[in-house]
Each structure stands twice: as C-alpha cells, then as structure tokens.
Chain A
C-alpha cells in the first residue's frame, strides 16, 4: 500500500470517527449551552439508541431508515421525560446537575445490564460490502455513517440558524432572563433541547451499532470523546463541536495509522491540555467576561 493510499484511507477513517464524535459532542454541548448541565449520561443515550436500533432493525426486521428513526424518536421522547423528572431542578446548577447525570449514567448502564445482559451483540451491516477505488478500500457501512452524519448536522444547522425555535434556543442559551422578557419561555425550550441533544446521541449509536457492536458498556467511550471534543471546540459552541470532533477524529486516525494506537490515545489528551492552557474557552468558544 503506497503512502498516498494510506493517507487517503487515514482521512476517510478519521472523517467517519470524527462524524460520530461530532454527533455526540453537538448533543452534549447543546444541553450544556442551554441548560448549563454537563450531562455525563450522554453516552448512555448513545447506548440505548444502539440497542433500540439493534432490536428494531435486526430482531424485528424493520427497514433501516425506519429503525434509525425509531431509535431517535424513542430516545428523544425519553429525553423529554428525563429532563422533566431529573434535570429540570438542576437547570443552571452545574455541580449538582453533573452529579445527577453521573447517577443517571450508572442507573441506565446497570439497568441495561440487568435487562439485556452483559453479552455484546452484533448487528448486521446497514450496507454490505466494500468499495475499492485506486487501491483504497472503504467499508460502505462506514461511508454511510459519514453521509447520514453530514445530513444530520446540516439539518441541525438549518434548525438552529433558520427557524424560530432555533432562535429561541440560542436566545435561552445566551440569557434565559432576557429571552423570557422577549416572550420566550425557557421551560418549553429545555425539554426539546434536551431531547434533541440525546436524539443526536441515539443517532450516533444507531449508526455505529452495525459498525462496532452493542452492549450495555458502549456508552463510556463516546461520553469521554464528547467531553474532549467540547473542551477542544469550546463548551456550548456547536461550530466548535463540529471542528473539534472532526479534528479529533483525524488526529486519532493519523496517529493510530502512522505511529501507534497508544500514541493516538496520548495525543488527544496532549491536545486537550494544550487547549486548556492556551485557550481555556476552546477553539471556537466565547471567552467569559470577567466580573
């Protein structure tokens, strides 16, 4: 395999991984930006999305698009319930909200362990086979992840920038009290924003289920990656999450391919430390005004 081929392969691999990080991180940063809650249970919604997809697509034989939609809707609706029942009292209370999210993560993971057991399950590929171009081999399943992820990010961009609800979300994220003065009711925005955030995690889980596998323990790594991405991109910044996610995916892929998997893992934390030291508000985050 020539160097050019390896580089091209590395870029595609990085984009796929990065796309999943972006989907995870956008949901994570959306919830923080609007509700000021660091949701460490975010990865568990990824896990539930993957399970719902696996059951609907693999066990019930429902078409792939409907199965993905089912995962997104089930998790989105559960997000509405979770926001109202657990997180609403902690809105704006970062420390207690974070503790509640850690508790929720443990409950969801162990609940899945009790109900579904520890065994991982394989999910058939959404699209079978590989495509070869000029010595490059791409899994169609992975290419699908990139495509669907890109469409989802575009749709979210349109929602946030060009719709009335998107403007309301941004207003609440900037200042809930001023938003209220403008006639926007934050308590109506919170559940939808939270549902949207966890639905994106569910989409990532559904897309990755056939690529990897599904078990109650798959949520931890995506949560960690989402956290790294939002630190790099800037907590609360959606463009930052996109930039950070793709950057992290590409760096991981390049370091893993040309150096080693261990170096790839070290590299991401070196970058996080560098960002925190040099630009604590992240690459595209906003510097908080000093009192």
Chain B
C-alpha cells in the first residue's frame, strides 16, 4: 500500500500535471461610499468566476491549468484612489487583467497607466472616453447611456409624446457626459431636454423639484446612483408629482425601490439590462443569490459576462500574460454564449474600436416593486 502511494506521488510530481498555476485577477472598484452597490456587484462577479473556475479544478489555458486568485482594491469612488489602486495592481501585484475601474472619472484617470502597462481592463465607466482607438487594452462589457438612450427614447417618445422634459444629474464627469448624450438623444425625438445639476452628495431634492416639476411633463433621472434616483422619486411623489418618471440609466431597479418604496416607484420606466426570463441569466441570478446572499445587479452580470469572454480569449490566445494577443483574440469573440445572452463587440463607428459589448437590452416598467419587461432593444431600435 505504502509503495503504491509513493509511486502515485512520484508520478504526480514528475508529470507536474496536477499542479495548477495562478491567474491573478485584479478588481479596482468602489467598495465603500455611495457607489459601493455597483462595485460590490463587480467584486461579486469576479469572486463568482474565481469560485466557479477553482471549484471546477481550474481553467486550461495553453498547456497549463490555472486557478484564479483575486487582488481587490477599493477606489472609494475617487479617481485619485483608483490611480493608486491601479499602480498597486500593476507594480506590486503584477496583475495583467483588471475588473474595473468602475466610475467614469476613475476610468479616465487610470487609462494612461493601464495602457502603458498593457493591462486589460473591463471597465464599467459610462463616459465615451472609456474606450477608444488609443486604448487597445480597454474593453467595456456593459451597455452605456450612449448606446441605449437613442433607441430607448425613440420608444418612449412614441409611447408618451413628451413635450417638456427635465433631467436631474450629478455635476461630475458621469453626470456631464450622461447629460450630453441624453440631450442629444432627446433632440432626436424633438424634445429640448433641460438639465439641472447637483452635487453628488446631495440628499434633499425638494427645492429643485419644487421649481422644475411644474415645468415638465416627464422627469428624467437616468445617470444617477440607485440611492439618488430612489430619493428623487420619493420626494417628487411627496410633492404630488403624478407624471411619468424615466430612469434612462444603468440597472437601478432593486436598489431604487428599496429607497423610494414600492408605491412611489410604481410605473417608473427603467433601463433593464437583464432579462430574467432568459434561462442563463435566471440561472446565474438564482445560483449567485443562493451562494453569496447578495442581489445580482447589472454591474455584476455584465462583469461576469466580460470575464466569460475574457477567459475564452485567453484560451484562444493560449496565454494569460501576453495581453496584446489576448486583446486581439478578445476583440474577435463574437456571438459568444454568456449569461446575458450571445455577446460580441461593436463600437468602431462611434469609438474607433470594437471594444463595446454588443448584447440585447430591454425597457422595463416597475410594477409592484419589480421591473417588468415592456420592450426588447438592439442598439438600433426597441420593439
């Protein structure tokens, strides 16, 4: 018996086959402060992918099998902290792939470092500057306002025929870029969108709502954090506003309803990045929530989908470190089955590079606290 065990041990050591290598995955996202809900979603996706790979015995890339180890940093929604985190990921940890950065300002602030170090980033930054021909290693596996606002508003315009629309947005990089794209999209449906900005830390919107609600027949609050959007809805309804509210922004429904309450949120139109009726999406949500006891939001699901595509690209490139080859293979991934549907990359026309995820998205209406799908959209139109 002893002889058999010894022989087996020698065979394993000699082959080296059972010993797995480590694939380091960086996470640079907001894990505290106002944007923590989104950052926790991104971290949750990275953790879910790591657990899935590690529990399955690793992922085979080239002739080696890799398990995933996470290196996690909190940027506290501050660009300077995101830069520090990126520096540590690149220089101290030697990471080649980063889930993040999350916010637009953090994304822009870290670009020079990640590009110079040839680090692949899966950013959630909504700014149009997040990806581009000068950023060959930056990919965006989420649908941004720039992509969905046009088709979504064309659908809303046909349904509600709004004349006067006011938007409330934070006065930072995210708010300004979202406002600019919203204004352009509303112009396309014949509406001159009026923008009102506020400091991101603001929680009392009653003064500004008192002024603008009487001057609008539709209130647009896309581009705000779920907490802020929920507060605005709650306070607008308290002031007796009964008109439609649009949240032409990221996936905010669950957190928004938590803040505003079901009654105030009823009827609100929201961007719905996930179709919970799609089997793979439903399965992922069910498994994630059962295992981690946390809800799945858009940042979580899209980060996970981005990682699915990235691992496929690594397999095709046969490397976890040659990021130039991985980026080239990632760009070629098309109609790939992910948890959010068959995904590929687009964006050359708008950004000069095909690094923007291409998947269907949806318009939902909140009914009894849940977003119900009312339209299915591509980047061209909603039906």
Q: Which residues of A are at the interface with B, using a C-beta cutoff of 8 A?
A: 1, 6, 9-10, 13-14, 17, 110, 113, 118-122, 124, 130, 132, 137, 139, 141-142, 212-213, 215, 217-218, 220-221, 252-258, 260-262, 264-265
Instruction: Say yes or no: is B334 at the interface (Cβ < 8 Å to chain A).
Output: no
Name A252's contact: one of B31, B33, B207 (CB within 8 Å).
B207
Residues of B187-206 whose CB lies within 8 A of A: 196-199, 201-206
A257 to B209, CA, bound (A): 8
Stretch at the interface among B83-91, B258-266, B308-316: B258-266
Q: Which residues of B are at the interface with A, using a C-beta cutoff of 8 A?
A: 31-34, 36-37, 40, 171, 196-199, 201-208, 210-211, 214, 226-227, 230-231, 234, 238-240, 255, 257-261, 295
Q: Which residues of B contact A121 (CB under 8 A)?
A: 258-259
Q: Give A109's nearest chain B residue, CB to CB.
A: B32
A258 to B33, CA, bound (A): 30
B3–chain A nearest beta-carbon distance, Å: 52
- What 13 new A-B contacts, CB under 8 Å, besides A118-B32, A120-B226, A217-B32? A14-B207, A113-B32, A118-B31, A119-B258, A122-B259, A137-B238, A139-B239, A217-B34, A218-B203, A221-B203, A256-B211, A261-B198, A261-B202
A255 to B208, CA, bound (A): 9
Q: Which residues of B contact A257 (CB under 8 A)?
A: 207-208, 210-211
Q: Which residues of B contact A110 (CB under 8 A)?
A: 32
Please report whether the interface of chain A is mostly helix, strand, loop or mixed according to DSSP: helix
A254 to B211, CA, bound (A): 10
Q: Are B207 and A256 interface neighbours, CB within 8 A?
A: yes
**What are 16 pairs between A and B in contact, CB < 8 Å?**
A13-B204, A17-B204, A113-B32, A118-B31, A118-B40, A119-B37, A122-B234, A122-B258, A139-B238, A213-B227, A221-B201, A255-B207, A256-B208, A260-B198, A261-B207, A262-B197
Q: Which residues of A contact B261 (CB under 8 A)?
A: 122, 124
Q: Which 3 A-B pairs have the closest CB atoms?
A: A256-B207, A261-B198, A118-B36
Q: Which residues of A contact B203 (CB under 8 A)?
A: 212, 218, 221
User: Residue among A130, A217, A252 with the most chain B CB within 10 A?
Assistant: A217
A177 to B32, CA, bound (A): 44
* With A119-B37, A261-B199, A265-B199 as contacts: A213 and B211 at CB distance below 8 Å: no
A132–chain B nearest beta-carbon distance, Å: 7
User: Residue among A121, A220, A256 with the most chain B CB within 10 A?
Assistant: A256
A213 to B239, CA, bound (A): 17
Q: Which residues of B contact A218 (CB under 8 A)?
A: 203
A120 to B230, CA, bound (A): 10
Q: Are A215 and B199 interface neighbours, CB within 8 A?
A: no
Q: Are A220 and B198 interface neighbours, CB within 8 A?
A: no
Q: Are B239 and A120 interface neighbours, CB within 8 A?
A: no
A221 to B202, CA, bound (A): 8
Q: Which residues of A contact B258 (CB under 8 A)?
A: 119-122, 213
Q: Which residues of A contact B207 (CB under 8 A)?
A: 10, 13-14, 252-257, 261, 264
Q: Are A262 and B199 interface neighbours, CB within 8 A?
A: yes
A221 to B37, CA, bound (A): 19
User: Residue among A13, A213, A265 with the most chain B CB within 10 A?
Assistant: A213
Q: Give A221's nearest chain B residue, CB to CB.
A: B201
* With A120-B230, A139-B238, A139-B239 as contacts: A258 and B201 at CB distance below 8 Å: no
Q: Give B241's nearest chain A residue, CB to CB.
A: A137
Q: Which residues of B contact A255 (CB under 8 A)?
A: 207
Q: Are A213 and B32 interface neighbours, CB within 8 A?
A: no
Name B239's contact: one of A17, A124, A137, A254 (CB within 8 Å).
A137
Q: Which residues of A contact B32 (CB under 8 A)?
A: 110, 113, 118, 217
A132 to B201, CA, bound (A): 30
